[in-house]
Amino acid sequence: MGETILSVKDLHISFRTLDGKVSAVRGVTFDLKRGETLALVGESGSGKSVSMKAINRVLPGNTLYDQGEIIYEGQNLLKLSESAMEKIRGRKIAMIFQDPMTSLNPTMSVGKQIAESILIHEDMSREEALEQAVELMRLVGIRNPQESWKNYPHQFSGGMRQRVMIALSLACKPDILIADEPTTALDVTIQSQILDLIDDLKKQLNMSVIFITHDLGVVAHVADKVAVMYAGRIVEIGTAEEIFYNPQHPYTWGLICSMPSLDTKDAALYSIPGSPPNLLHVPQGDAFAPRNAYALEIDYEQQPPFFRVGNSATHYAATWLLAPEAPKVVPPAEILKRQDVFKHTYLLQI
Amino acid sequence: MGTYILKRLAISIPVLFFISVGAFVLVHLTPGDPADMYITPDMTQAQIELTRASLGLDRPLFIQYFDWISNFLTGNLGFSFGNRQPVLDIIGQRLSPTLLLMSLSLLVAYLTAIPLGIIAALRKDTLTDRFIIGWTFLNVSFPPFFLGLALIYIFAVKLDILPTGGMSVLGAENGAEDLIMHLILPVIVMASQFSANMIRYVRASVIDVMHQNYIRTALAKGLNRRQILWHHVLRNSLIPIVTVIGTDLPKIIGGAVITEQIFQWPGIGSLTVAAINSRDYPILMAIVILSAVAVLIANFVIDILYALIDPRIKYGK
């Protein structure tokens, strides 16, 4: 694992809407190292996708970057001009989106779409770019690329289109690949193929990858570091092992317990009670408190700071339960059971 | 593709047949009698009957139709009830003024509407957008006869810099400059109607495409706004635009009834009005068939264009 290449500091983002200002991201801080895979996990609306799109500044026009910095190669991306940003997008920081069915231009052949990403950043002829596009298609496992580059997106299956998206995003060998729920729209069998492909390519190209997902199972075997987000904030961050074996935040417990597993015999799958807060009106104290069975009085008054977990240099959780004065709480029994499950399934590879 | 074209042609034959039957019946059902034109107060009933018989109107309707269609199939469109000239010649004389006026109007309309629609879409909800949309609203709301008369009043009557109507000043026939002067006002009236409609479609279509996920992909690739517009937005927003063009195209031949009438433009539109007024059945039938053919051709051209623009559209063998 190399040096830090991306550093997000206290990022605050909101949207102007007809109803008022929606605070989608409320203070996100993390570092990404070269070659590292970070997984950002959380429910829909937790701000994971917004904070990642902010890195490439591909958010809609009503976005307000209220506060914070995104430092890449010594410069704050939020302060860069649009034209300077165009040189970073796709070339240094690339993205894959959730829905491969609609993320490709339906009236342009896939080969041209891949070649286009090369052409705008590199000085070469159309023919050379197309040759490279064919090469990239072969790299991501598309059959018969010499012929199929001429095909249009509707002639490919969902999994193949996502491979095209990956080829397109890797066209300039970026430093960072942001994959925004890249497997959500795909069949389960295709999901693991795509995840493995991204993981392989990451190693080949020495990229850093940020996975955005709401499915812990998806990231368990590819992530080095996991950040759990809730209501626009990171509530727990640590290595994959720390998050899966030693979760500290009640929200992380809830997430882990609500993962379906072949070994859980109980009929009903656990779900966290209640629903996420409306970020049009940011609640006082910890946003998770109303849904938290372990909430303390202070949770309703003051937002918990990050507490370091044990002596770990990497594991932090924002819960008052970790305060020295807090009562000792035992995680739900299900968590302990799950740890055993993880040991035998996902984490064997780590 | 070849078989598809043949199929389309084959289908258009029964379509034209039914249109001709329907039009023939409707035209003959309209109250009034073409023979009225020839009747003078001192004519006897027998003379009136004779006039009707000379126009062939005394026979049963289906015989008249059979007569008409068998002539039509040999290329004979009959003779005008009015001046007894061959219908084909009359239509031929009227077609080129209409073709000139309408194609010029459409050209002016599209050349202004497409850029304005794109600008409105790119500057959505800004003052520029509001202004363009307000302008189209004004154009759609003003009926062409009002706009036409207002323009005639201002530019022809008050300022006296443009002619009130017609295609040429007497004695100045064939002068290009004269023709252009006569074209300005009717083209403005027609173009404003066409363009208002088009601007709204272009704007809506471009806005719709700009919200598609693949535009976000293009942005994330590092393309700038101009590249995104040219390489990804335009082609994809063409489909609804082509549909509008498809509904406009037949008017190139059918002409504009009201505008031609106001500007005394000697085209198909004013011929239609005159033929209806005098119940000139052969002329009316010819115009109906001509318009139907124009619509069929336009639809056909549009369908081919769809397939050229969007690779997802393929016509079966």
What are residue A12's DSSP bridge partners? A26, A67
- Alpha-carbon radius of gyration of chain B: 24
- If phi > 0 it is left, if psi is from -120 to 50 it is alpha, else beta; for residue A141 that is left
Q: Which has more pLDDT, A3 or A333?
A: A3
Minimal-distance CA residue of chain B relative to A170: B221
Percent over 70 (pLDDT), chain B: 97
CA distance A222 to chain B (A): 24
Minimal-distance CA residue of chain A relative to B232: A105
Residue A347 reports pLDDT greater than 70: no
Q: Which residues of A touch B232 (CB under 8 A)?
A: 105, 108
**Distance of alpha carbon B13 from its chain centroid, rounded?**
22
Residue B45 reports pLDDT greater than 70: yes
Least CB–CB distance from B222: residue in A97, A108, A121: A121
What does the domain layout of chain B look like in residue ranges? 2-73, 90-309
CA distance B215 to chain A (A): 8
Of the candidates A82, A142, A77, the residue with the CA atom closest to the CA atom of residue A109: A142
In chain A, which residues fall in CATH 3.40.50.300?
Answer: 1-92+175-350
Residue type, A123: D
CA distance B74 to chain A (A): 46
* Whole-number average pLDDT of chain A: 86
Give the pLDDT band of residue A158 (cuts 50, 70, 90). confident
Least CB–CB distance from B220: residue in A83, A90, A109: A90
Interchain pair A88, B220: CB under 8 A: no
Q: What is the pLDDT of residue B304?
A: 87
Query: Tens digits of per-residue pLDDT, B179-212?
Result: 888 888 999 999 998 899 899 999 999 999 999 9
Judge whether A87 is closer than 8 Å to chain B, CB to CB. Answer: yes
Residue A313 reports pLDDT greater than 50: yes
- What does each C-alpha distance from B164 to A252, B9, B167, B180 come to in angstroms? 80, 43, 10, 13
Most confident of A236-250, B103-117, B144-158, B245-259: B103-117
Percent over 70 (pLDDT), chain A: 95
Give the pLDDT band of residue B174 (cuts 50, 70, 90). low
What average pLDDT does range A91-99 have in this prediction? Answer: 90
Q: Which of B129, B207, B208, B214 has the highest number of chain A CBs within 10 A, making it the mutation to test binding with A? A: B214
Query: Tens digits of per-residue pLDDT, B192-201?
Result: 988 998 999 9
Judge whether B218 is closer than 8 Å to chain A, CB to CB. Answer: yes
Q: What is the pLDDT of residue A290?
A: 83
The angle formed by the CA atoms of residues A319, A322 and A326, to the nearest 5 degrees, is 105
Residue type, A199: D
Residue A349 reports pLDDT greater than 50: no
Under 8 Å CB-to-CB from A195, ≥6 apart: which residues?
A182, A183, A218, A221, A222
Minimal-distance CA residue of chain A relative to B307: A107
Q: Which residues of B touch A117 (CB under 8 A)?
A: 221-222
Percent over 90 (pLDDT), chain A: 35
Alpha-carbon span B165 to A221, nearest angstrom = 80
Residue type, B102: M
- What does each C-alpha distance from A139 to A14, A130, A198 come to in angstroms? 39, 14, 11
Judge whether A89 is closer than 8 Å to chain B, CB to CB. Answer: yes
Interchain pair B213, A83: CB under 8 A: no
Q: Which residues of B touch A116 (CB under 8 A)?
A: 221, 223, 231
Residue with tokens 């004695």: B171
* Whole-number average pLDDT of chain B: 86
Structure tokens that stand for B283 in this block = 């002329």
Cβ proximity of A347 and A220 under 8 Å: yes
Q: What is the pLDDT of residue A264?
A: 58
Interchain pair A102, B227: CB under 8 A: no
Cβ proximity of A15 and A63 under 8 Å: yes
Of the candidates A23, A57, A52, A31, the residue with the CA atom closest to the CA atom of residue A40: A52
Judge whether B214 is closer than 8 Å to chain A, CB to CB. Answer: yes
Give the pLDDT band of residue B87 (cuts 50, 70, 90). confident
Query: Tens digits of per-residue pLDDT, A249-274?
Result: 989 888 888 877 666 565 677 788 88
Minimal-distance CA residue of chain B relative to A105: B214
Minimal-distance CA residue of chain B relative to A113: B218
Judge whether A156 is closer than 8 Å to chain B, CB to CB. Answer: no
DSSP state of A209: E
Count of C-beta atoms within a 10 Å radius of residue B50: 14
Give the pLDDT band of residue A348 (cuts 50, 70, 90). very low
What average pLDDT does range B116-134 have in this prediction? Answer: 92
Q: Which residues of A touch B235 (CB under 8 A)?
A: 107-108
Alpha-carbon span A25 to A49, nearest angstrom = 10
Give the pLDDT band of residue B256 (cuts 50, 70, 90). confident
Least CB–CB distance from B227: residue in A56, A91, A120: A120
Alpha-carbon span A154 to A165, nearest angstrom = 13
What average pLDDT does range A165-173 have in this prediction? Answer: 89
Structure tokens that stand for A196 in this block = 């493995």
DSSP state of B266: -
Under 8 Å CB-to-CB from A119, ≥6 apart: which residues?
A126, A129
Under 8 Å CB-to-CB from B303, ≥6 apart: which residues?
B8, B315
Give the pLDDT band of residue A109 (cuts 50, 70, 90). very high
What average pLDDT does range A71-78 have in this prediction? Answer: 91
Minimal-distance CA residue of chain B relative to A114: B221
Q: What is the distance in angstroms between the CA of the first residue and the CA of the last residue of chain B? A: 7
Yes or no: is domain B90-309 CATH 3.30.365.10?
Answer: no
Q: What is the pLDDT of residue B84?
A: 80
Q: Which residues of B touch A105 (CB under 8 A)?
A: 214, 217-218, 232, 236
Judge whether A210 is closer than 8 Å to chain B, CB to CB. Answer: no
Judge whether A81 is closer than 8 Å to chain B, CB to CB. Answer: no
Q: Which residues of B touch A152 (CB under 8 A)?
A: 311-312
Count of C-beta atoms within a 10 Å radius of residue B220: 25
Q: What is the pLDDT of residue B58?
A: 79
Query: Tens digits of per-residue pLDDT, A130-144?
Result: 999 999 998 888 888
The fold of A1-92+175-350 is Rossmann fold (3.40.50)
Query: Tens digits of per-residue pLDDT, A29-66?
Result: 999 999 999 999 988 888 888 999 999 998 888 899 99
Q: Which long-range contacts (CB under 8 A, 24 or more apart) does B189-192 make?
A: B189/B144, B189/B147, B189/B148, B189/B151, B189/B259, B189/B262, B189/B263, B190/B101, B190/B102, B190/B105, B190/B106, B190/B109, B190/B144, B190/B256, B190/B259, B191/B105, B191/B106, B191/B108, B191/B109, B191/B112, B192/B109, B192/B139, B192/B142, B192/B147
Q: Which residues of B touch A109 (CB under 8 A)?
A: 311
Interchain pair B220, A89: CB under 8 A: yes
Interchain pair B221, A89: CB under 8 A: yes
Q: Which has more pLDDT, B50 or A72?
A: A72
Segment 227-256 of chain B within 8 Å of chain A by CB: 227, 231-232, 235-236
Of the candidates A310, A290, A323, the residue with the CA atom closest to the CA atom of residue A247: A310
Cβ proximity of A133 and A171 under 8 Å: yes
Handedness of CA B165, B166, B172, B175 (dihedral sign): positive
Q: What is the pLDDT of residue A183?
A: 83
The angle formed by the CA atoms of residues B213, B219 and B221, to the nearest 5 degrees, is 105
Q: Which residues of B touch A83 (CB under 8 A)?
A: 224
Residue A227 reports pLDDT greater than 90: yes
Judge whether A334 is closer than 8 Å to chain B, CB to CB. Answer: no
Q: Which residues of A touch B313 (CB under 8 A)?
A: none
Q: What is the pLDDT of residue B171?
A: 65
Query: Tens digits of per-residue pLDDT, B272-296?
Result: 888 888 888 888 888 998 899 889 9
Interchain pair A117, B221: CB under 8 A: yes
Cβ proximity of A146 and A135 under 8 Å: no
Q: What is the pLDDT of residue B280?
A: 84
CA distance B206 to chain A (A): 14
